[in-house]
Amino acid sequence: MVGRATEVVRAGEWPTDQETASVTLDYDDRHRRRIRLRTDDDRAVQLDLADATRLSHGDGLKLEEGGFVRVNAADEPVADLRCHGLIETARMAWHVGNRHIPVEVREDGTLRIRDDHVIVAMAERLGAHVSRLRGPFSPEPGAYADISEARHDPSHAHGGHGHAHDH
C-alpha cells in the first residue's frame, strides 16, 4: 500500500521530486472523492478527499505519509475534429456543444471528443476532417465549474464564475 491521499495539488504546483507512485485513469475515473486506486506498479492508494474533484493530468495526490502520487490521463478512444478556419471551428464547437457532450479544445484549435460514431458522422457532414485515435481526453470543465477545477495550463486558463441565480 502506498498510503492515503487526502489532498489534490494541481499540476505544476507540487514537488515532482517527491513522487512515490503514479495512477493512470481515463476521463470518467478522474472525477472522484473516495475510492481505492491501483497505482501503475500495482500498489493500493486510498483516495479520500473532502469533496468530489476533477483530477487533471499531472496533478499530485498528496499522501498523509509524505510524498505524492502523480495522476496521468489514460489513452482512450477519441476523435479529433479539424476545421478549415475559425468560423468553421466555432460552428463545429456550437454543434458539438449543442449535443451536450464533453469537448477538449486543443492548443492547435482541434476539437477532441470521445470517439462516438454519431457525432463523428455529424462532424464529417459539416466538413470537419476527423482523425480517430487513442489519446488522453481532458475536456473543458464547464462554464460554472468551481475555479479549483480549472486547469493551470495556457489552453485552459479561463477560470470560472458563479451563476446569476446562485446566492
Phi, psi of 147 (to 5 degrees): -55, -30
pLDDT at 126: 96
In the predicted model, what is the mean pLDDT of the chain? Answer: 88
Q: Does the pLDDT at position 154 exceed 60? A: no
Output the CA torsion sign for 137, 86, 94, 159. positive
For 63-105, what is each residue's pLDDT tens digit?
999 999 999 999 999 999 999 999 999 999 999 999 999 999 9
For 110-145, what is each residue's pLDDT tens digit?
999 999 999 999 999 999 999 999 999 999 887 766
Position 94, amino acid: W
User: What's the average model confidence in pLDDT over 5-24?
Assistant: 97
Every domain of the chain with CATH number 2.60.260.20 lies at 3-73
Place of cell 502520487: 69
pLDDT at 144: 65
Every domain of the chain with CATH number 3.30.70.790 lies at 76-135
Q: Does the pLDDT at position 16 exceed 80? A: yes
Confirm if 69 and 2 have CB atoms less than 8 A apart: yes
61/148 Cα distance (integer angstroms) = 14
Q: Which fold has domain 3-73?
A: HSP40/DNAj peptide-binding domain (2.60.260)
pLDDT at 142: 74
pLDDT at 1: 86
Output the CA torsion sign for 95, 100, 101, 103. positive
pLDDT at 167: 34
Sheet with 68-73, strands from edge to edge, namely 19-25, 68-73, 60-63, 3-9, 44-54, 31-38
pLDDT at 146: 58
Confirm if 43 and 74 have CB atoms less than 8 A apart: no
Q: Which fold has domain 76-135?
A: Alpha-Beta Plaits (3.30.70)
